[in-house]
Structure 1
Amino acid sequence: MSDIRIQKTGASDVIASSDGTLTLTIPIQIKRRSGRKLVTLPNGGIAKARPWDTAATPLQLALARGHRWLAMLESGETKSLREIATLEGIDSSYVSRMVNLTTLAPDIVAAILDDALPNHITLFDLAIDPPVLWEEQRERVKYA
């Protein structure tokens, strides 16, 4: 059976007992940051965060909203962008701009999800009147 104890001090150590169990001592600290627990390593660094622990960027959230709203339209859950705007309590032009993001080239979408777009590219650049052709979208973004 596992038994985890957190001690404030100590060095790394492995102790074998006569009953065959091992006691492993690892000097770590658990700190709270923004309501989450993080493991602090002996060298003072913080253990690598899991991908799902990082907050989504505004562009990623906008892309997700656009796809969700498009799915609502395609499934028949709503009849129009105006109805979605009413349900969400937001402006219908905002809804249409976010739905525009669903027409972006796959490599641009991947760059948004990987947070790899240059800092000068804004949501406005991508959502307002995006070109229909993917090559023209790539020229506008100029991240390649």
Structure 2
Amino acid sequence: MSDIRIQKTGEPDILQTSDGRLTLSVPIQIKRRSGRKLITLPNGETAPVRPWDMTPTPLQLALARGHRWLAMLESGEATSLKEIAAREEIDNSYVSRMVNLTTLAPDIVAAILDDTLPNHVTLFDLASGTPLLWDEQRAIIDR
């Protein structure tokens, strides 16, 4: 059975016993940041943040809602945007604007998901009056 011990000092080491078992010694520290545990190596580096540990941005949440609501319409689970708004107890226009996000160019969607969209671009810029042509959408971002 393996045994894990947290060692805060020392050098990494591999020890082989006479019965063939290996003991791997890696000095690490486990720190809490925003309620999450991060592993800190002796040189001060922290392990990279995993995508599933990050809190989604408002724009990412809006994009997900838009796709979920569009899927509800396409599957027949809901018959109209008005019905979705009634179920969610929100305004019809908000549902409509979020569904507009499903027409964004793939590179813009990737930038939203990677959180690399320029800071001047807002949810309102992308959700209301979104042009259908992808080149025109990119022009909004490049302003």
Answer whether TM exceeds 0.5 for this pair.
yes
1:36 deviates by 2.0
Percent pairwise identity: 75
Question: 2:36 matched to which residue of 1?
Answer: 36
Give the aligned residue type for 1:28. Answer: I
Q: For residues 111 and 12 of structure 2, what CA distance do their matches in structure 1 show?
A: 41
Q: For residues 61 and 30 of structure 1, what CA distance do their matches in structure 2 show?
A: 30
1:8 deviates by 4.1
Give the aligned residue type for 1:134. Answer: W
Question: 1:122 matched to which residue of 2?
Answer: 122
Give the aligned residue type for 2:6. Answer: I
Question: 1:73 matched to which residue of 2?
Answer: 73
Aligned positions of 1:47-126 closer than 5 A: 47-126=47-126
**Gap runs ≥5 in structure 2:** none
Give the aligned residue type for 2:82. Answer: R
Give the aligned residue type for 2:91. Answer: D
Q: Deviations over 1:22-59 (max 9, x none)?
A: 21111101122223221111112211122222222211
1:114 deviates by 1.8
RMSD: 1.6
| Contact kept? 2:9, 2:42, Cα under 8 Å | no
Q: For residues 110 and 89 of structure 2, what CA distance do their matches in structure 1 show?
A: 29
1:105 deviates by 1.4
Give the aligned residue type for 1:17. Answer: T
Which TM-score applies when normalising by structure 1?
A: 0.90
Give the aligned residue type for 2:69. Answer: W
Q: For residues 45 and 7 of structure 1, what CA distance do their matches in structure 2 show?
A: 16
Secondary structure of the residue that 1:95 maps to in structure 2?
helix
Which TM-score applies when normalising by structure 2?
A: 0.91
Secondary structure of the residue that 2:69 maps to in structure 1?
helix
Secondary structure of the residue that 1:23 maps to in structure 2?
strand
